[in-house]
């Protein structure tokens, strides 16, 4: 248990479905991240939120829509996905400050998404 | 653009061996470097964090070093055990990545008993 909880752990959805992934951190961190992990590729950064504000969108297609209602919760809303979007989606959190910009990141267990 | 490379991609060793995993990065303007472990189908477990001002960190049988100027890090695992079998990921933070981490593809380690 890392203090970062993701639900659901597994999700199968059709290309016309709408679903959401949820991430919750209990560490008091101020930054949260979505990453995508596909086979044979390094983890790809998708979105960054610092103090609930989105500070980075790494050229992610609009069929992925993030939401960060507060510093403890992060969502990834999915709609009209493609089979190539099947992957492990990982959430992470950290607590960068002006004094300690490079702080330790903690990851959730991920959501294994399959698009059929 | 920051790129992280890990060598080797895969490694098989008998139990008890000491081993070294390598990580290199192209942009030395980093704030930190973090090593993770990932078991199949699972999330990432943080092993060691090295700040840019540090040279090494140790935790149990693990020792990670950082040479920021040359863009290199190594993870040393002493007296390997079958339970060490996993994929080990190196990630750097800072610079273009901001507060986020940029990852290598990982080294998949298999330790046989």
Contact residues, chain B, for A45 at CB < 8 Å: 97, 100-102
| Cβ burial, residue A25 (10 Å; 0-12/13-18/19+) | buried
Q: Given an 8 Å threshold on Cβ–Cβ distance, is A43 in contact with B89?
A: yes
Q: How far is CA B74 from CA B12, B23, B31, B39, B71, in A?
A: 17, 6, 17, 20, 11
Task: Give yes or no for B76 touching A (CB within 8 A).
Answer: no
Task: Give yes or no for B60 touching A (CB within 8 A).
Answer: no
Query: What confidence tens digit (pLDDT) does each residue in A25-66 have?
Result: 999 998 999 999 998 889 999 999 987 777 777 789 999 999
Q: Given an 8 Å threshold on Cβ–Cβ distance, is B94 in contact with A2?
A: no
Query: What confidence tens digit (pLDDT) does each residue in B44-62 have?
Result: 999 999 998 899 999 999 9
**A104 pLDDT band (50/70/90 cuts)?**
confident
Mean pLDDT of chain B: 93
Q: Which two tokens stand for residue B21?
A: 């995993």
Q: Which two tokens stand for residue A46?
A: 């998708």
Per the omega criterion (within 30 degrees of 0), is the bond before B8 cis? yes
Rounded distance, CA B49 to CA A95, Å? 14
């Amino acid at each position: 248990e890392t203090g970062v909880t993701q639900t659901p752990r597994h999700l199968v959805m059709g290309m016309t479905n709408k679903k959401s992934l949820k991430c919750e951190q209990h560490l008091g961190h101020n930054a949260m991240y979505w990453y995508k992990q596909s086979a044979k590729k390094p983890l790809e950064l998708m979105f960054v939120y610092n103090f609930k504000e989105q500070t980075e969108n790494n050229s992610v297609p609009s069929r992925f829509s993030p939401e960060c209602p507060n510093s403890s919760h992060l969502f990834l809303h999915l709609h009209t996905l493609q089979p190539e979007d099947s992957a492990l989606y990982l959430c992470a959190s950290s607590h960068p400050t002006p004094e300690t910009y490079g702080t330790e990141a903690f990851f959730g267990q991920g959501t294994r998404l399959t698009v059929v | 653009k920051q790129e992280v490379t890990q060598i080797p991609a895969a490694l098989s060793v008998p139990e008890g061996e000491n081993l070294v995993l390598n990580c290199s990065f192209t942009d030395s303007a980093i704030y930190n470097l973090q090593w993770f472990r990932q078991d199949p189908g699972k999330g990432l477990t943080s092993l060691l964090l090295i700040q840019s001002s540090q040279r090494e960190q140790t935790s149990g049988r693990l020792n990670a070093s950082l040479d920021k100027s040359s863009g290199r890090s190594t993870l040393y695992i002493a007296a390997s055990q079958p339970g060490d079998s996993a994929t080990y990921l190196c990630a750097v933070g800072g610079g273009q990545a901001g507060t986020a981490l940029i990852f290598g593809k990982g080294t998949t380690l298999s330790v046989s008993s």
